[in-house]
Each structure stands twice: as C-alpha cells, then as structure tokens.
Structure 1
Amino acid sequence: MSQQTIPVNGIELSVHIEGPADGEPIWLLHGFPECWHSWREQIPALADASFRVFVPEMRGYGRSSSPDGIDDYDLLILCGDIQHAMDYFGHTQVVMVGHDWGAVVAWHLALLEPERVTRLGTMSVPFAGRAHSPVIDIMRELYAERFNYILYFQEPGVAEHELEADIERTLRLFMQDQDVFLQHKPANATLLEEFTAPGQLPDWCTQQDLDVYVQSFTEHGFRGPLNWYRNFERNWQRTAFLAGRKVLQPTLFLIGDRDPVGVFEAHTLKRMPEAVPDLEQHVLTDCGHWIQNEQGAQVNALLLDFLERKRR
C-alpha cells in the first residue's frame, strides 16, 4: 500500500492507495471515532478483485489537516475534500463506500456527483432525504431531560477534555462497549463517567489495530472529528438546494442488528426506499456498529457481489 498527502480544498489530505493502477477506483470513507485502518478487512479484498482502492484519512483525522474552525467541517466542505481528491487523481467514474459519518458524506456525494458516482455502498447510517428542520433542533426537544452523546458533543472543548484525557481508554471503550451511545442518564452527565476501561479488546480489534487508531488521534486530538457534529444546523441550511433529490445510483446498505444507530434512525430506515429507489439492504446478525470489522468477511462478500452485479 502507498500513502500520499495531496493538496485539496485548502487542506492536506492523506490518502492510502492499493490495487492495480488500471483498476476501477473505489473510495472508502471512514466514520467516528475511527480512521483509515477501519477498512483493513476490505482493502485487500477489493484490491484482489481488481479495484484501485482509495482510503482517505478524513479532514481532522490522522495525517490530514485539522483546521481550527467549526465551520471548516460542514458537510459540503467535507464532500468537497473528496470531490477535489477525485479531480486530483483524474477520476471520472468511481464507486463510493462510507461507514458512519463516512456514509453521510457518501450519500451526499451521490447527490452532488450523479454521473461520477456510479454505485454506492453505505453502512450504519441511512438516508431519507433532507429533513424538514435541522436534526439538532429535533434532538434538543427529544432529549431535553436525558443524556444524548450528540448533544454532549455540541459545546466546544467539553467532550475534547474528557476524550483526550486518555485516548487509548476512550477508544477501548468505544470499541468494546457500544452501550456508551445508548446510556439512560441525566442530560448534564458526561459520556464516559460510568465506565472503566475494558481489559480485553473485541476479537476483531487487536492491540496492533488499536495502536493505529490511537496514533490517528494523538497529534490533533478529537477537536476536528467532534466539529463534524457541530454543523447540523449549518449543514441543513447549506443543503437546501438538494431538497427533494433522490439517490438514483444502485445502492447497497448494510447495518448490524445490534447497531445503536438502528435505534436512533428507525424512522429514517423505514423511509429510505422512498429516497433511494434502487436500494438493496441487508441486516447482519450478531453485529454492532463497527460492521466492516465485526463482520468483515460477510461485508466483503456482500459488497463484492453487489459491485459485480451492478457493474455498468
């Protein structure tokens, strides 16, 4: 695998690349709190299937730039990073795959680039079109009296202080205990206060794997990644021109049966076929949020089969 740091959209973007030089380009976009290494199961499988695999370290993560401003992480800017990177590499047609926040970017790249994005793979976070009001406003009403991690992330500096106190402990908790995101406690609580660091990593994450995640957050901390969460209202305002548009590309959507997002996004999951007419969905059993690692072989099989059947 090679790694390049390229100038795009006013930042330096680190991109890991593997596969034959003449292979069809496929982009893998990671989420929070992850890094490019979360695609470690998919990269060799896709490269062996003759894809040219591009795996960025998204804005705010790892060796990519981490600007200071909250506005530097709005959704159209995040999409712009990948659009400019595709321009840099001369990509006219690509497959776009994303997990978690990477799925949000992938969904919107499909809307923004209907000709260039030929097929779409999304994991964990569904799409049902532009909401009628900013999602953060809805969440403030729903969680006025109880804790919600996204609301906790809104005040700059607060979550950073907690998560950066011990980066390895934070990431171990996220990887080991997904109940971190489904806690029932007062609204003024902190995220990790009731948890202790688990002594054993899950089977799908070795200490060597975790070390890559830790290194990704060591230089810049969590400020940039958390700023992704602080743009819900700005994202809603700036994507008004996308209202009513549907994702028309052939789309594969995967989610685990134990993924907390399935609880938060139950209504969106039901409505998704209306906004994504050419949709294929699979629910993976005994699987949480970190789907491409927890069920790597099954994700690979489903993704490769879909890409082959939907090849233009």
Structure 2
Amino acid sequence: MATSDQLLSTQFPGPTLLDINGIQLEVFEAGQQNAGNPIVLCHGWPEHAFSWRHQVPMLVEAGYHVIVPNQRGYGNSSKPAEVTDYDIEHLTADLVGLLDHFGYEDAIFVGHDWGAMVVWSLALLHPTRVSHVINLSLPYQERGEVPWIEFMEQVFGADNYFVHFNRQPGVADAVFDHHTRQFLRNLFRKNVPPREPDPGMPLINLAEAKAPLGDPIMSDDELDVFVSAFESTGFTSAIHWYRNLDRDWHQLVDADPIIQQSSLMIYGNRDMIPPSERLQEFVPNVDVVHLDCGHWIQQEMPEATNEAILSWLKRNHQKTSRPRPVVKGSISI
C-alpha cells in the first residue's frame, strides 16, 4: 500500500509552505506554465487539498495556473491556538494573501462545502479579488436576522453538529481524534441507504460506528492521505471554523449581500444540504448544475464535475495573461 507521502508526491503536486497573512499555508501548485490564468481550489470539512486531485490535471490542461491551499488549521498549514483566528475575516484574508503572494489581482475561486462558504464570503468582503465563483454543495447562505448558530439551535436542536460544536466545545473533537480512521472511513461514502437517525449527535454516532454504510468514494491509499493528515493535526483547529459562525454573521453585517460575479453552483441531488430556493436573489448571475451524487461531489463524480466546470469556464471566462512574478518567502517540503 502506498503511503500518504508517496501518493501526494506521485499523483498530486508537491507541497510548498508559503508565508501568508502572518501564518504559513501549505500550498499545492500546478500549471505554473499557465501563469496569468489563476484558479484557486478551496476544500471543505473535514478534508484536505487532496480532495481536488481529480480536478487539477484537467484544469492545467485547460490552461489554468492551479493553486490548492490547505487552509489554516489543515494539513501542514498553521494551526493558531485562538478560536477567533478562524473567523471569516481571517479565512478570506488568507486567500487574498495568497493572491498577493503570486502577484494576482484576482482569480477564479472554487469551493466545496466549507470552502464554498469561504468563497461566497470572499466575494462579499473582497469583491475585486474574485473574478468568477464556482461552488459545490453549499449554496449561498442568506445572513438573515438571527445569528446562524442561534438560528440552527432553534430550528434543528442541540444535537445538530453545528450547534453541538459550539455548545459543547471539545466533546466531538475528542471522539473524532480517538476514531480518526474509522470516522473518515465512515464519512467518505456514497449510496448510503436512507435510515432513521439514531438519538444523539449524528457525527459522533458515525465516528463510533464499527461498520460503514454504502460504498467508499476513494481507495484505501487515498483515504490514507486524509487519515494521516488528521492523525497529525487532530480535528479541533478545523472545527474552530464552525465555532466562529456567529462571529462571522456579525462580521458580514456591512457587506453588500449580492454576489455580482458570474457564478456556477453544482449540487449533488443526494446531498443532505438542500438546494437554495432563493439563490438567484443573491447570486443573480448564476448557472446551476445538478449531479446524481451525494455530498462529496468532486470525488464521487469527478468526470461529470470536471465536465461541468470546464464547459462553464469555456462559456464564461476569457483568459488573460500577465508575467509571472518573482515568488519569495516559500520553502519546499
């Protein structure tokens, strides 16, 4: 069986540590020959830059400079101790800093799950740095009149994992850390048969389940990359993103809530996250694609995902070139 290091080195771009926004980000870069046409891929929770392994070669071949960070709290990127260091201002500033490092005024941003939340917010807080938006699974989240965690607690109750992460800090983290491989093996599945939920917090139940349901979305070697990363980091720094949702709600108060950029929203028809009924109110220049899969869209249906992204880019993105800047402050690892 290939180790996670071997898999990353042979089938995915090698990592570089970059000094960005006062921290270090582990960045996987490909298609340097396409400098001037940047596209940044932002992973979700609990994932890794490696979740975009199927998209990187396609985008390079299509003429893009592909930049894939492990965002703060993940992989070998910095893991600040303070919970507030993971709020939306920090997360979006990291991506702005990434553009600054490479000398780009703007880029296409692609996000899945939590990465989509960051990309939507980046387009609101730093609109001039985002040329186009492509998001998977998580549609635009209307800010509303009540902070998000308070709203979710009212609607979904205390066992909702967003609420649990905030109201019982450290409890889920410890369970996931104790069952890292089992949790990720049970989580990254497709074709999971419908069933009545058990009492309690669903993700804790999933982490403690001895047998997985459905079918795996990746090989054991691929799963090893995710397991190795979280065995090294633990889950707390990644969960801190959730612990800032009400803080994020306050930080977005003055932002224009309308996404002006041309956007593509890709849904999985079997995803537990439902499509937004009001997407076009907030993202008027959006195209929508539905794929017959669950939550892990780009890993479950990589070819269909690639086709949807590439077709949309061909229709909506006019590439421009500029000289590649001199890059400083990086260390290969």
TM-score with structure 2 length normalisation?
Answer: 0.85
Separation in structure 2 between the aligned mates of residue 166 and residue 33 of structure 1, nearest angstrom:
14
Is the 8 Å Cα contact of residues 182 and 260 (structure 1) preserved in structure 2? Answer: no
SS at match of 2:229: helix
Q: Determine whether 1:171 maps to 2:177.
A: no
CA contact (8 A) 2:189 2:213 kept: no
Indicate the residue corresponding to 1:46 in structure 2: 59
**Residues 1-312 of structure 1 aligned to structure 2 (within 5 Å):** 1-23=13-35, 24-144=37-157, 147-154=159-166, 155-176=168-189, 184-187=197-200, 190-192=204-206, 195-198=209-212, 202=216, 204-242=217-255, 244-262=256-274, 266=275, 269-285=276-292, 287-312=293-318
Q: Tell me the CA shift for residue 216 of structure 1.
A: 1.4
The SS at the match of 1:28 is: strand
Task: After TM superposition, give the deviation of residue 63 of structure 1 in Å.
Answer: 0.5
User: CA offsets per residue over residues 40-96 of structure 1, 9 Å max, x none?
Assistant: 100111011110100000110101011121111111111111111111111112110
In 2 relative to 1, CA 217–291 (structure 1 residues): closer, same or farther, beyond 3 Å?
same
CA shift, 1:182, in A, is 8.8
Q: In structure 2, how many angstroms separate the alpha carbons of the residues matched to 1:235 and 1:183?
A: 33
Identity %: 36
Range moving further from structure 2, 250-259 or 15-24: 15-24
The worse-fitting range, judged by mean Cα deviation, of 174-183 and 206-215 is: 174-183
> Are the counterparts in 1 of residues 108 and 131 from structure 2 also a CA contact under 8 Å?
yes
SS at structure 1 position matched to 2:134 = strand
Q: Render the CA deviation track for 1:150-206: whole Å, top value 9, x for unaligned.
A: 22222221011100112111100111268799963445774337622439861x301
Shift of 1:2: 3.6
How many angstroms apart in 2 are the aligned matches of 1:59 and 1:178?
31
Structure 2 gap ranges (5+) = 1-12, 319-333
Paired AA for residue 232 in structure 1: L
**8 Å Cα contact 1:147/1:183 also seen in 2:** no
- Root-mean-square deviation (CA), in Å? 2.2
**Counterpart AA for 1:32:** W
User: Any stretches of 5+ residues in structure 1 without a counterpart?
Assistant: none
Separation in 1, partners of 2:186, 2:241: 21
Query: What's the CA shift for 1:113?
Result: 2.8
TM-score (norm 1): 0.91
After superposition, the Cα gap between the structure-2 partners of 1:178 and 1:228, relative to the gap in structure 1 and judged at 3 Å, is farther
Separation in 2 of the partners of 1:169 and 1:185?
18
Contact 2:34 2:60 (8 Å CA) reproduced: no
Contact 2:190 2:214 (8 Å CA) reproduced: no
1:157–1:128 distance in 2 versus 1, CA, 3 Å: closer
> Which one-letter code corresponds to 2:249 in the other structure?
W
Indicate if the aligned counterparts of 2:260 and 2:285 stay in contact, CA closer than 8 A.
yes
Q: C-alpha distance in 2, partners of 1:79/1:179?
A: 34
Q: CA deviation at 1:99?
A: 0.1
